[in-house]
Amino acid sequence: MYKNTLIDIKHIALSLIKIYNREWGDIVEKNYTAQQIAEYLHVKVNTVWLWFRIGKLKYFTVGRKKLVKESDLTRFIESGGNYGDSR
């Protein structure tokens, strides 16, 4: 019973995020999933997940979904993949 309710809430939240981003796209920063980043950078999704795990690429979570702000992705690319690297 609760599992279906949580799934419904998740879908509603993601729908609202999409609507919010569409309506306020010029004001709100865009966010990217690991899949989108992998396709854009021509790497495997597992590589993006590795960057998340070792702290090379900053992300935030919405529910169980990990998202990367456009500004963080830009900094990551401009730094040659060293943005967020604490070493």
Query: How does pLDDT run across 10-64, given as a tens digit for each residue?
Result: 677 777 777 666 655 555 678 999 999 999 999 999 999 999 999 999 999 998 9
Cα separation of the two ends of the chain: 46
Between CA 70 and CA 76 the distance in angstroms is 10
pLDDT band at 81 (very low <50, low <70, confident <90, very high): confident
In a domain, residue 74? The reply is yes
In a domain, residue 85? The reply is no
Spell out where the chain has E strands: 31-32, 60-62, 65-69
The CATH number assigned to the domain holding 64 equals 1.10.1660.10
In a domain, residue 21? The reply is yes
In a domain, residue 87? The reply is no
In a domain, residue 86? The reply is no
In a domain, residue 84? The reply is no
Q: How many domains does the chain have?
A: 1
Asked whether residue 3 carries a pLDDT value surpassing 60, the answer given is no
| HSE, side-chain direction, 13 A CA sphere, residue 6 | 5
Contact 37, 49 (CB under 8 A): no
